[in-house]
């Protein structure tokens, strides 16, 4: 699925993997990593605080805090001006912006209502393009199949790890 220079796609993969790249014309983004990948068959090495969503300016942040909710505060958002990140502690990770987009994509794909087996990759995609890809894929009956595994050990490693997680 494409939209100008933005794209998102699914490819066959024995597990669940995502990769994402971004490209923003802003000094704060130039100094951060522009690509990230996660393969759910590989265990995470550590759990840290979740990524925050980027915001355009401190004025925008104040307007959001007033209009939207108390959630929009600097500890939950990356606030940038025309030149830099304004949060006192800076970015939590060098790739925080692109990790946020990766987490957005995971949420978008979760709307399918089933675990996915495949590889999702995207460049500059967002909620709307991810949703268009998901809808187009589901509409094309030859682009996907519904599979079940009689035994947990028959499932790809990424799904087996998910089965082993404690219920929440």
**For the whole model, what pTM was predicted?**
0.73
pLDDT digits 0-9 by tens, 56-101: 444 443 443 444 444 455 667 777 788 888 878 877 877 888 888 8
Annotated active-site positions, please? Answer: 127
Token pair 């014309």 is found at 25
**CA-CA-CA-CA torsion sign (9, 11, 16, 20):** negative
Are the CB atoms for 91 and 78 separated by under 8 Å?
yes
SS3 category, 145: coil
């Amino acid at each position: 699925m494409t939209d100008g220079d933005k794209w998102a796609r699914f490819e066959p993969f024995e597990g669940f993997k995502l990769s994402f790249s971004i490209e923003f014309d802003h000094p704060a983004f130039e100094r951060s990593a522009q690509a990230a990948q996660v393969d759910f068959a590989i265990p995470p090495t550590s759990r840290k605080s979740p990524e925050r969503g980027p915001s355009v300016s401190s004025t925008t942040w104040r307007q959001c805090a007033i209009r939207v909710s108390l959630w929009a505060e600097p500890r939950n958002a990356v606030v940038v001006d025309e030149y830099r990140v304004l949060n006192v502690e800076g970015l939590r990770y060098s790739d925080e912006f692109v990790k946020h987009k990766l987490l957005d994509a995971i949420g978008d794909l979760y709307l399918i209502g089933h675990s996915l087996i495949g590889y999702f990759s995207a460049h500059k995609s967002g909620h709307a393009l991810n949703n268009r890809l998901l809808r187009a894929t589901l509409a094309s009956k030859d682009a996907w199949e519904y599979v079940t595994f009689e035994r947990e050990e028959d499932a790809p490693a990424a799904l087996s790890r998910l089965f082993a997680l404690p219920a929440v």
